[in-house]
Every structure is written in C-alpha cells, then in structure tokens.
Amino acid sequence: MALRDDSKYKLGRCAGPPVKFGLVVPSGWRADQILDAGVAAQMLEIDFFLVTDHYITPTSDSSVDAWSILAALAAKTDRMTIGTCVTPIPFRPPQMLAKMVATVDQVSRGRTVLGVGAGWSRAEFDAYGRWEDGRTRLAMTAEGLELMLRLWASEEPFDFQGKYYSSKGAILRPKPLSRPHPPLWFGGTGNYMLRRVAARYADAWLPPVPGVTDDEYRRVFEAFRGGGEGRDRHVNVMFNGTLPEIEANIEKYAAMGCGGAMLARTSYEELPSAMLELSEMARSYGKKET
C-alpha cells in the first residue's frame, strides 16, 4: 500500500480532551489488502484498527474470517490495538470464540479488543448458524459473554448450564495476556443492549456505521452513567465517519465526552491518503502530548 502525503486537511490545534484515532475496514476486502492496511496504519501511528466480522451481508457474499486475519495482523504489528467492529456473539459457540480471542490476544501480546454485538445479517446466520429473533439474540449475547468471561478468568474446570449454552468441565488455557480479559467494545443502540449488557461489561462503545444522531449519543451517555448495576466504570464512547465528517465534528463530539474517532466508509483505493490525513489530524489534535 503506497502512502502519498497529499493531505488537503491543514488543521490547527484543536481544543478538547484526548481522543484516540482509528479506522474500521470490511472483512469483505482481500486478506492481503487488510494486512497491508493494518501495517500502514501502525506505521502512521494510528491508535486502533478494526475489522468488520461478517461472512455474508446484503451486498456481498465474499469475506475473510475476521479473527483469522487479526491473528495474521497481530504477528505483523507490535503497538496498535486490533479487534472487530463488531463480532455477533450468537454467531459462534461462545466457548470457541473465547479461545479464538484469547489466541489473538496472545499473538498480539495483549493488544486485542473484542467488538460485541448481537448480529443483524440473517443471511449469514441462515448459512452458517441459526437465526433467532432480536430479543433471543440479545439474551444469547449476554449469556455468551458470561460464559466467555468465566473461561478467561477461571483457573479450574467448571460446569456451565444456561438457557442457551452449556459446558461441562470447561477450562481455557493459556489465558489471554490482557487482564482481567480483552477489552469489550460494544456496538448496538437498543435499550436492552445499552442498559442491561453494555453498561455492565463495556470498556468502549462503537456507533453503527454510518453513525447516529446527537440525541442518540446523549442516550448512550445516559445509559452508561453510573456504569450499570450501580458501579462507577468509565466507558469510552466513540464516534465515526468519513474523513470530512470527522474533521467537521471532532470538537463537538469530544466536548460531549467521546474519546475515540473512527474512520469508516473509505475504499481501499482511497485509504492510503485518508490514513495520512487521519494521522495528521491526530497530531494536530495533540495526541502525542497526551
């Protein structure tokens, strides 16, 4: 991936709290394209690199497996946070997903995040799993996370019997290097997901692509206020958009409390110049001084 410094954005220093800068690319790209983009992103000191986790969408039936490509990217990088945007938890057995995420976290030496969602593409569930209604998928997401967290934490074999998942003598070794577990970055805007699942477990929140309204951001912040179940825990709320959208809105969203800006909806051909400009924007915003 050739990088050309032809940025049309010449930002002055922006006022506001520290913001991390990253990007999301589709799992529908070829494997070599994703790896080239990830290596270039680290070279430009972009903070995080996420891959969508889909096998089939309404617009494409061509994809790579997100966790397999992240394992390869983990071996090619050594500083940048990597993960998914987002993984539908009911799509795979949570025991196997816990092992996959732990392995990528080991390869990356503790730089892996798990993007958490309930899934929306019925075509991929029909082809590779089993489609359930929305309420059931949300309940499966919550129960699946409970099992995954126990697998990452428990030093002894345990039995698990839930409504949707069960395990006998479950144990996961070696553990993820991230402790107590790889960070959980949630997607989704529904009240159940926000207030009953994400508020309990989330380390960060990722808006859907192409994004949400200001009122929806306020509702997200309200859902996380107090951290869920009376616990005071910080959730890093992010915003996303194209490069012009990020440049136009970064001060507004940072003032609202967003701590991350994510470049989205950029083609592979446009990505080299877009990443250069994103890197320049990060320097202009004072990332290196934080």
Q: Residues with Cβ < 8 Å from 238, sequence gap 6 or more?
A: 204, 205, 206, 207, 258, 259, 260, 261, 262
Residue that has been written with the tokens 């996959």 in this structure: 100
**pLDDT of 230:** 45
Taking residue 193's Cβ as centre, other Cβ atoms within 10 Å add up to 24
Encode the chain (290 residues) as per-residue pLDDT tens digits: 666 555 444 444 444 458 999 999 999 999 999 999 999 999 999 999 999 999 999 999 999 999 999 999 999 999 999 999 999 999 999 999 999 999 999 999 999 999 999 999 999 999 999 999 999 999 999 999 999 999 999 999 999 999 999 999 999 999 999 999 999 999 988 888 998 899 999 999 999 888 789 999 999 998 887 655 544 568 999 999 999 999 999 999 999 899 999 999 999 999 999 999 999 999 887 654 44
Query: Could you give the CA distance from residue 52 to residue 45 in angstroms, rounded to a whole number?
Result: 21
Task: Give the model confidence (pLDDT) of 16-75 as tens digits.
Answer: 458 999 999 999 999 999 999 999 999 999 999 999 999 999 999 999 999 999 999 999
Q: Which runs of consecutive H residues, i.e. helices, occur in the chain?
A: 31-43, 66-76, 94-107, 122-128, 134-153, 191, 199-201, 214-224, 243-256, 271-284
Domains and CATH numbers, the chain: 20-289 (3.20.20.30)
**pLDDT of 11:** 41
